[in-house]
Structure formats: structure tokens, C-alpha cells
Amino acid sequence: MQTSESTTSGMRAMYQRRMLEIRGAFEAGASGVATIAARSDALDTLVRGLWREAVEQDTRLKTGIALVALGGYGRRELFPYSDMDLLFLLDGRLAEKQVKDAIRRVNQEMWDSGIRVSPATRKLAECERFDEDNAEFAVSLLDHRLVTGDAALYGKLSGQVVPKLLQRDHKAMTARLLDLTRARHAKYGDTLFHLEPSIKDCPGGLRDVHVCGWMTKLHDGGAQVLKNGSATAAELAEDWNEFGKAVEFLWLVRCFLHYRHERDDNTLDWQAQDAAAAAAVGLSGQGPEGADAGYWMRFYFRYARSVQRRVMQAMEESAAKAPSMLLGLRRERRVETVQPGFRVERGRVNFDEVAVGGYDPAQDPDVVLQVFQAMARTGCTLGRDAEERVSRALPLLSAHLEEGPGLWHHLQGVLTGPQAGDALRAMHALGVLELLIPEFHGIDALVIRDAYHRYTVDEHTFVLIDTLHGLETAQKGPMAEWAARFGGVMRELPHPGLLYLAALMHDTGKGRSGGDHAQESMRMAESVVARLELDAYESDLVMSLIANHLEMSAALRRDIFDVETVRAFAGKVHTPEALRMLMLFTYADINAVHPDALTPWKAENLWRLYIATANYLDRSVDDERVGPQEESELIHRVTALLPGQKTAVREFLEGFPERYVLTRTPEQVRTHFQMAGRFAEDAVQLDFRYAPGVSELTLVTRDRPQLFANIAGALAAWGMNIVTADAFSNRQGVVVDSFRFTDSFRTLEMNASEHGAFVKSVHDVMTEAISLEKLLSGRRRGRKKSPLVVVETRVEFDDKASSHSTLLEVIAQDTTGLLRALSLTLAGQGCNIEVALVDTEGETAIDVFYLTRNGAKLDAESETELRRALMTAVEENASR
């Protein structure tokens, strides 16, 4: 007499009860691993029971057939509503038609119990063959487990057939698995940062966890399988703690989603995110109950990122063993390098072994930062061992890290490398980025929950940086034309590193609640630029770019053909260099919101606003001057630095173009004011700031003929190439001329002792103690470089831009001594330079002068004469 529990309906009822118990346990706090193993065990019981009945009815089934769990069921990872893969394995003795009815009955019973079973019937010999078109079956065979039936037959499958399959076909299987995985990733835009991700199929999802396991098993022709039998993801996870936590989290969340949706639906939609956050699913004491969904999603993204990193690594490692494949080919082409402390082999970075004295290069910040620079430069990736060594070394790296120019040098090296985005992602994932810039931590995996944003804030930042680098290479598609045009501007930036630094920091303020995030980001960047010891000009550029990073997008929503829109926008950017950077930044920022956000229409409007503003900046300077009673925030800030001298400061500032005040920090204005106060001791005051890239020299003196020409000449004589310059004067005739220049022959870089001689020489030229001509004649013996791009000389006059000056714009090939030649010609024609704005874009010099002659605008005749003289001067200078 059979007990009721052993009858078919009894077994079904017991299974249903067990399912309810498992659900109850899950809701009471059972882990993901316990839940999926429990369901798997419950199914085992059911399958065994059903099969026992079948065997009782037909004893021929006692041998020659085995019921084998495959795939997730094989791994004992069966989620509440997942389907189950069950293999009915036959040896040659039993014919398929003899077992057909029994198999159908078992499957039928399971379907009737609400279980979605995917049955397969195969003869042992059929399992040996790898079928490209049904790779899924071969892959599912990697996770096999006997449920019931002929154990000896199963022993042949696990001991002979599967190892043989792997030995023979592991390469083909690996290749197919790589293809399938890449296609799946591509379907999700190759990013894990989706608003409503599928936690199974998205990059960084559970399917990738399985891929990691399969890749390990496929390594070395399946040696791993021979040794370990069925290694589960949990076993693999022990190798890597963070990965293990991620897997456990994903298991838990998938169980949660299945119970919530009551079907095999793995989409983490917004409602599910709210519910998961409210129940603090997977936070296990790390977060508050009833947390907000954005907070909870940060955990999800962090874990998914860790899985994605692991799967990419597994794929790279596997592709390396299949050299004919695309990934392998790409790596072969990568640069191989050996540097102190590490080497790059086949596209992977490995640290040198720990030295006898105990020196570990992975603990040396210089070496580690060189590694990330190499990654940014060449696109190589970290080997798993290298990653682990960096992770372990973090506390020591933190202790040894030196801030200041050295750190900026390294960081700049990373930021400006063509693969900076990937290098930064790796730094971020390992915690190195937060070590250098703790301010970045606040936006780690931070979600902006609106339908417009596709990525988390940190990923948005990296995509933005990727977009900027993308401008440097030719592109395809509808944006190609615009990318080329913006890319031209990108290549001409004198300080691209500063743009990238601003990009890295621009949204860090989003990590703090409330307020204007641009201002908050700027405040956070303040301490970063101070730690990197950027000079005043560089800091100012970075900070203003961050503070204004939404201004150009905002201006695009106004009428960009309206001069008021342009004027208001120009008032915020102040200088052409800041404008160029902001335009490029805005382009990349829009593109990094989501893949379709940037359209040719938007790029065109951005470009138009840029042109209009650039023209406005050059043409409006002369008319906007500081008035005698002007009250502005900057004037207050300057007077605050000079207590008791308010009247004198106001007198000094009166008559300067507003551009002067707007483009200087209050500290710089104070320095200039104090220099002007020392005219009694020395009428020529010079302030020299050396920097390895671009140095700056400021001259404060009384206006006189040929002043600009002489100082430009003195710089040319020393081989200095002027990048930007401006010259402003106040109502009293005090001139502030600033020159920013590069040291073409590295004279100042190689000889620190020459700094004093350089300043003295410029001073002597200005006081006429030495002859400029003599100084220049020595210089002209230097070798001349042939230009890469030939720039046609253009001389344009504009009488309408200013109310009392004539605007002259000269576009010419940038050659040493050009500015001297131009300004000398102007002086020779009796022209007074009211304002000079000198700029360089790559090999093009763009020099704008506001001129008067005898206090008035130039007439048509003198313009013609001047044009001729300038064309000749440019030509003569170029041929020298």
C-alpha cells in the first residue's frame, strides 16, 4: 500500500507546499543561495518521485537511462520561476520509443505542477558532438548533475563524454560563447547602466556570472571540469570576494523579482526598484530600511560593475587563447612595453615580482599611476593578479601618495590618453580614483532618476571623457561632420588636460544633496586644484568651466541670433580659451546623457553660438570699461584684499576694459596694483611665473610707443613662443600686458639659473639698457621649422565694433617673432594699441588689436596703407 505522499498528486501537493515554505523562508530573510538551492532540491525530490513511479510501472527503465540536471538546475541554482533543463540520457540499449511514454508522463506531471521544464532526450554518443547551431546544449552540459536513474551511465557522461567533448571542441565552444556574449552585450548598448536593467541579461547580470564559470571550465580543454566536476559560481566566487558578494546580491534580487512578478521576469523596473529599496533587499545592515531607490540602485550598479569587470577579464583571457579572433587580433597590435615596476604583455599589465628587499611595485604610487597612464595611452588592461595586488595595496598607496605637481602630471597623463575613459573606469572600480580624488566618491554609481538620463553620474562622466577623446579621431555616421569640426577646435587647445580635469569634476556636486550642483562641484574642485597645485590661471579656468558647465546649454534654449543672448553668455565665459573649452564640454556633456541626445541640429546650434560669442568677445572689449563709480563683486573682492586703499584701487581700475577685471583673479589684480605702486623705484615692473608647460610674464608700466612690440621682441629673442597675450590700459595710462608663452627650446626648463637672466634681459630691453636688435640677431640664427599647415594671411578691419577704435584682426601662420613684427608695423604707422588680444589655434595666430591714431579711428586710406604694410611684415618675418 502506497502512502498518499508517494502518489503523483501527493507529490505535486508536496512540491507546492514546499514552494510556499521556500517563499515564506525567503520573505522571512533567507538568502538567495538558500532559496535557489531549496527549489532545486524540491525539484529533485519531485523528479525522483515521478521517476520512481515510472520505473515501478516499467522495470526496463531501471537501467540504461539517467535523468541529468543541466544548466541552472545542474548548478543547483533554480530561481522561483525559472525553467529547468532536464536531460533524459540513454545508452544504446534502450530504444527511444521504449521510453517515450514514461518521459512524456514525467514531463506532463511537471507541467501540471506549474514547472516549466525544458526536456531533452539524447543518447550518450550524441552528447559528444558539438553542434555550432545548438551551442546552448553543449554549454548547458558544462553544468551537469545526476538527479536519478542509471548512475553508471551518468558516470560515463561525466567521466568520459563531457571531458572528451571539451578536449576536442573547447576552442570552438569558447569562440561561440564569446560571440553569443558579445552579441548579448551589444544588444544592451555594451553598458550596464540602464534605467530599468534586466538583471539576468544586461552586462554585469547573472548571465555574465555564468559566462565567467563556463570560461573557467573551458580553459585548458576542460582540465578544470575533470578536476572539480561541476564548479559552481559560488566556488568561483571564493576566488574573489567582491565578485562573490555581487553574485549573492544578484541571486537575492532575482528571487525577489520572481516572487514580485510571479513569473520569470528579471526586469528591475522602477516600481521593483522602489519596492526593493523599501525592503532593503540585499543591503544586509549596510543601508537603512525604506531607503530611496536611487540609493539602493547604487548597490546594484556597484555589484554589476564588479561582475562586468570579471566577465570582460574572463573574455579577454579566453580570446587570448583563440588568436584568430577579433579580440585577439586587436590585442596583438597593442604596444608592448616594459617600464620600471611593470610590463605589458599581450595587452595585459603585470607588475614585477616583489623584490628581495620587500619592495612591491604595486605599493608604489608612481608605478601604479604609470600603469594607468599606459592603460590610457594604449588601451591595455590589468591582469587579474595586477588588480588584486593594487586592491591589496590601497592602504599603503594612500600612505605613500604625494600630492602636488607630480600627482597632476600623472593624472594629466591618464586624462589625456586616448583610452582615458577605460583607464578611469578601472581606477574607479579599484578605488584608486577615489584615493586621488576622494570628492569623486559621492557620485559612485549615483542614479539620476529621470527618463532623459541613461547612465549613472560616474559613468556619465566617463562617457563624456570618451566623447571628448572621440573628437580627436575621424568618425562615421550623422555626427561625423560635426565631430570633425569640433575636433579641429579640440586639437588646438593649449591645455587639454584642464578640460579633462574639469570634465572629471563637473558633476561631483551631485553627490551632495540640495543646492546648485554646478556651484557645489566647483567648491569640491577648489580643494582638488589646490592639492594639485595648479597655478592661478589654470585653477581659474577649471573652476569657471565647472561653475559654468550648464551655461551654454542654457543659452541654446534662448534665441542664439539675438545679440543680448550672446552678450549675456559672453559675460560668463570671459575668454576665448574658456569659450572653446566650454563649447567642447557642452558637446560631450549632451552626448553623455544618452546615446540619442546629441543631434546634428544641436551641434549646429552649439557651433553657431560659439562663433557668435567668439566674435563678440573679440569685438566688444574696447567699449566695456570699468567706470569711476562701478560696483561689482570683483571690485569688492579686490578692495577687500587691500584694506584702507579703496580709493586708490578704484583709480587704478578705472578705464580698464571690463575684460581685464573679469579674466584676472582678485589676487592678480592686487599684484598689478602693487606693482603700479612701485613705479617710483622702477618704472618697469615685471612679474614672471614659470611653469613647465606655459609660463606667464606680466608687465606693468606707463604706456609709451612700441611698448608691446619691444616686449614681444624680447620674448621672441629668447625663443619663447607666445600662445596668448593681452594688453590693457587704464585711464591714467598704466599698461598691464600679459604674455603666456611656451619655451620652444626648453631654455628655462633645463636651466633654472637662467630664469633671473631672462627677466633681467626683458627688463633691460624695456629700459633700453640693451639693444633689442642685437638680442634678436642672435636668435635668428636658429633653425626654422617648416609648418604642418599653411595658413593664408588675412587682414580685416572693423570700424563698427568699437565706438572710438578701429578693430584690426590679423590671421596668419604662427611664427616666432610674428607679434613683434605686427606691433612694430603698427607703431611705425603711428597707431596706438588700445587693447590687444593675441591668441593661437594650432598653427594659426589670431591677433586682434583695437587701434587709434591721434586719438581717433583710422580712416579708409590709412587702413589700406596699414593692410599693405602688415602683409609685407608678415611675409618678411616668415622668410627670415
Partner 1 sequence: MQKIEAVIQPSKLDAVKDALVEVGVEGMTITEARGHGRQKGHTEFYRGREYSVDLLPKVKLELVVADDMLEKAIQAITTAARTGTIGDGKIFVSKIDEAIRIRNDERGEIAL
Nearer Cβ to partner 1 (391/844): 844
Q: Which stretch binds partner 1 (CB under 8 A): 387-395, 496-504, 599-607, 670-678?
A: 599-607
- List 558, 755, 853, 867, residue binding partner 1 (CB under 8 A): 558
Q: Note whether 612 binds partner 1 by CB under 8 A.
A: yes
Find the binding residues for partner 1 in span 453-472 (CB under 8 A): none
- For partner 1, which is the closer residue by CB, 357 or 477? 477
846 forms part of the interface with partner 1 (CB under 8 A): yes
CB of 827 to partner 1, least distance (A): 24
Q: What does the DSSP assignment read for 797-866?
A: EESSSSSSSEEEEEEEE--TTHHHHHHHHHHHTT-EEEEEEEEEETTEEEEEEEEEBTTBPPPHHHHHHH
In angstroms, give the least distance from the CB of 611 to partner 1. 4
In whole angstroms, give the CA distance from residue 871 to residue 822.
Answer: 9
Task: Give the residue ranges of DSSP H helices in 291-383.
Answer: 293-320, 326-333, 365-378
- What string marks each residue from 737 to 776 as x (binds partner 1 by CB under 8 A) or -? ----------------------------------------
Is residue 822 within the footprint of partner 1 (CB under 8 A)? no
Report the side by side order of strands in the sheet with 720-729: 685-689, 694-702, 734-743, 720-729, 832-841, 844-852, 806-813, 794-798
Alpha carbon distance 496, 543 (integer Å): 15
Grid coordinates 574658456 are at which residue? 578
**Binding of partner 1 by 619 (CB under 8 A):** no
| Residue 452 makes contact with partner 1 by CB under 8 A | no
Residue 270 CB, nearest approach to partner 1 (Å): 20
Q: Which listed residue (97, 476, 557, 800) binds partner 1 by CB under 8 A?
A: 557
Q: Are strands 348-351 and 381-382 parallel, antiparallel or unpaired?
A: parallel
Q: Select from 241, 599, 767, 864 the one that contacts partner 1 (CB under 8 A).
A: 599
CB atoms under 10 Å from CB of 759, counted, come to: 15
When asked if residue 796 is in the footprint of partner 1 (CB under 8 A), the reply is yes
Binding partner 1 (rule: CB under 8 A), the pick from 401, 554, 662, 811 is 811
Residues 335-364, interacting with partner 1 (CB under 8 A): none
**Of 106-114, 506-514, 609-617, 727-735: span binding partner 1 (CB under 8 A):** 609-617
Q: How far apart are CA 446 and CA 449, in angstroms?
A: 9
Output b/e per residue, 254-272; b: 16+ Cβ within 10 A. Answer: bbbbbbbeeeeebebbeeb
Which stretch in 257-265, 358-366, 605-613, 754-762 sits in contact with partner 1 by CB under 8 A?
Answer: 605-613
**Nearest residue (CB) to partner 1, 172 versus 493:** 493
Sheet strand arrangement including 348-351: 337-339, 342-345, 348-351, 381-382
Nearer to partner 1, 107 or 553 (CB): 553
Question: Cβ of residue 490: shortest distance to partner 1, in angstroms?
Answer: 15
Q: Residue 865: which residues within 8 A CB-CB, separation 6 or more?
A: 829
- At 765, the amino acid letter reads V
Smallest gap from residue 608 Cβ to partner 1 (A): 7
Residue with the three cell numbers 556574449: 181
Residue 608 touches partner 1, criterion: CB under 8 A: yes
Find all residues with CB under 8 Å of 857, minimum gap 6, and list them.
799, 804, 805, 806
Which alpha helices (H) appear in 381-509, and where do they start and end? Answer: 384-400, 405-415, 420-430, 432-436, 457-470, 480-491, 496-505
Instruction: Check binding of 559 to partner 1 (CB under 8 A).
Output: yes
Using CB under 8 A as the binding rule, whether residue 118 contacts partner 1 is answered as no
602 touches partner 1 by CB under 8 A: yes
Number of chain residues interacting with partner 1 (CB under 8 A):
24
The window from 109-117, 372-380, 389-397, 604-612 that contacts partner 1 (CB under 8 A) reads: 604-612
| CB nearer partner 1, residue 94 or residue 556 | 556
**Which listed residue (20, 335, 484, 611) binds partner 1 by CB under 8 A?**
611
d(CA 452, CA 789): 42
Amino acid at 115: I
Nearest distance from C-beta of residue 455 to partner 1, angstroms: 23
| Other C-beta atoms lying within 10 Å of the C-beta of residue 17 | 11
Q: How far is the CB of 601 from partner 1 (least distance, A)?
A: 4
**The one segment of 312-320, 596-604, 687-695, 819-827 that binds partner 1 by CB under 8 A:** 596-604
The backbone region for 534, taken as left when phi is positive above 0, alpha when psi lies in -120 to 50, beta otherwise, is beta
Q: Which of 333, 324, 330, 309 lies closest to 382, judged by CA?
A: 309
d(CA 87, CA 158) in angstroms, rounded, equals 13
Reported in sequence order, the residue ranges of 126-214 that DSSP labels E, i.e. its strands, are 145-149
Task: Pick the stretch among 28-36, 173-181, 248-256, 553-561 that binds partner 1 (CB under 8 A).
Answer: 553-561
Which CB atom, from 430 or from 573, has the smaller least distance to partner 1? 573
- The single residue among 841, 847, 850, 857 that binds partner 1, judged by CB under 8 A, is 841
18 forms part of the interface with partner 1 (CB under 8 A): no
- 447 or 606: CB nearest partner 1: 606
* 867 touches 826 (CB < 8 A): no
Say how many CA atoms lie within 13 Å of 173 toward its Cβ. 30
Cell of 831: 597707431
Q: Does 561 bind partner 1 (CB under 8 A)?
A: yes
809 binds partner 1 (CB under 8 A): yes
* Residue 397 binds partner 1 (CB under 8 A): no
Which of 107, 337, 615, 829 lies at the binding interface for partner 1 (CB under 8 A)?
615
- Kindly tell me the burial class for residue 285, based on how many C-beta atoms sit within 10 Å of its own C-beta (0-12, 13-18, 19 or more): exposed
Tell me if 291 contacts partner 1 by CB under 8 A: no
Residues of this chain that interact with partner 1 (CB under 8 A) are 556-561, 599, 601-602, 604-605, 608, 611-612, 614-615, 792, 794, 796, 809, 811, 841, 844, 846
